[in-house]
């Protein structure tokens, strides 16, 4: 097991919009950094290590420990283990901001149970917003969202990501961009106070690459509710499907109350 030399990172929004197709807002020092931006910073590391193999079953489980603001001085530390890698984002004080684990394929050490893509039934056609309370959210469908992936448009944010960014070379749909579509599903279906929630983490499993020009359907549901430290959390599970079948599974963990 070897820790790589730490690399410096100045926190930024990665040029990502909150939802697909929107223009990214301008940012200033002190602005809140969305969870999908943190995903953008880190999703290249597994592909750097395992290459295209990671796209055919690789996993990454990312958890945020505290909010981050534009301009925060951070560093990224990576531990390479035989079958996995650990990625830690921390402040100079060694205050951990985020932690991720990744593997080339299914690995019990990641301690995350991804739902079976076949378990997703037809999405609900309901349009009535769901109240952000446990009795209303539990087991509910988030409906479906259809989006088209255009690499020139949807990977433009990668010029903001430091280092050797393999997703720009590959030209496949990036996990962070797909996560913005999960954001849109949540925003459309759940009547959050002021339209906002706290993004506590994302688990991502790639099943096959998504090339430019692909039409995608995202179908989601509330997978699990749990409480921790006086806060209420929900796991929103989404299957991403294209003409070949399931392409990815994404589980956003959010704080809803």
> What is the SS3 string spanning 28-53?
CCCCECCHHHHHHHHCHHHHHHHHHH
114 inside domain: no
Q: What CA–CA distance (Å, rounded) separates 44 from 157? A: 13
Query: Which candidate, 227, 224, 228, 218, places its Cα nearest to that of 250?
Result: 218
Number of domains in the chain: 1
191 inside domain: yes
117 inside domain: no
Q: How far is CA 93 from CA 28, 38, 99, 115, 207, in A?
A: 23, 19, 16, 37, 38
116 inside domain: no
> Per DSSP, what are the bridge partners of residue 255?
198, 233
| Measured distance between the N- and C-terminal CA atoms of the chain, rounded to whole angstroms | 39
CB 129 within 8 A of CB 111: no
Task: Give the Cβ contact number of residue 183 at 10 Å.
Answer: 22
118 inside domain: no
Q: Which domain holds residue 68?
A: 2-108+123-255
50 inside domain: yes
pLDDT, position 187 = 93
Per-residue pLDDT of the chain (257 residues; tens, 9 = 90+): 789 999 999 999 988 887 887 778 788 888 999 999 999 999 999 999 999 999 999 999 999 999 999 999 999 999 999 999 999 999 988 899 999 999 998 777 777 899 999 999 888 887 788 999 999 999 999 999 999 999 999 999 998 887 668 999 999 999 999 999 999 999 999 999 877 899 999 999 999 999 999 999 999 999 999 999 899 999 999 999 999 999 999 999 999 98
Which CATH number is 72's domain given?
3.10.129.10
241 inside domain: yes
44 inside domain: yes
């Amino acid at each position: 097991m070897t820790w790589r030399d730490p690399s410096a990172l100045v926190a930024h929004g990665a040029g990502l919009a909150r939802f697909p197709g929107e223009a990214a807002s301008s940012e200033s020092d002190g602005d809140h950094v969305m969870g999908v931006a943190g995903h953008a910073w880190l999703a290249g590391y597994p592909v750097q290590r395992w290459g295209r193999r990671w796209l055919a079953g690789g996993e990454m489980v990312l958890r945020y420990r505290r909010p981050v603001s534009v301009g925060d001085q951070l560093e990224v530390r990576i531990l390479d283990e035989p079958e996995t890698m650990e990625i830690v984002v921390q402040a100079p004080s060694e205050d951990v901001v985020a932690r991720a684990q990744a593997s080339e394929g299914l690995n019990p050490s990641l301690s995350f149970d991804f739902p079976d893509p076949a378990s997703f039934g037809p999405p609900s056609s309901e349009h009535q917003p769901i109240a952000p309370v446990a009795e209303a959210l539990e087991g509910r469908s988030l409906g479906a969202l259809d989006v088209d992936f255009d690499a020139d448009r949807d990977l433009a944010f990668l010029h903001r990501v430091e280092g050797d960014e393999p997703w720009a070379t590959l030209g496949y749909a990036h996990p962070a961009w797909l996560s913005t579509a999960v954001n849109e599903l949540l925003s459309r279906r759940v009547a959050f106070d002021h339209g906002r929630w706290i993004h506590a983490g994302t688990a991502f499993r790639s099943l096959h690459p998504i090339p430019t020009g692909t039409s995608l359907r995202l179908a989601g549901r509330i997978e699990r509710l749990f409480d921790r430290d006086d806060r209420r959390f929900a796991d929103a599970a989404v299957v991403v499907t294209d003409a070949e079948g399931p392409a990815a599974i994404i589980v956003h963990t959010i704080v809803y109350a």
